[in-house]
Amino acid sequence: MQQHYENRGNSNSFAGKYYCYRLLFFERYTDINHAIEREKELKQMSRKAKEEIISQFNPNWNFLVAILNCRILTSFLLNDIFI
């Protein structure tokens, strides 16, 4: 997330171009192949379906980095694969 925030406004990346640095939802995977399959599945979903998934996970649509301690999130990121 820190990297997304630092690169905001950088048109060379999707996250930078569209200012994507606020985390609303994540899924944890230990296998990269499962994470890639899930990412492909999510990309095929309608916006409404994605919004429903976010609402189930995070009903108030709070920015999770503001809630989670970034050090805890970083420790998860070092051990697992997130999409």
Rg, the chain, Cα only:
13
Amino acid sitting at position 54: I
- pTM for the model stands at 0.65
Q: Could you read off the pLDDT of 22-58 as tens digits, one per residue?
A: 788 888 888 999 999 999 999 999 999 999 999 999 9
Is the pLDDT score of 75 beyond 60?
no
Residue 66 has a pLDDT of: 61
Closest by Cα among 24, 27, 20, 19 to 62: 24
Residue 59 has a pLDDT of: 93
76: part of which helix (H) or strand (E)?
Answer: helix 70-79
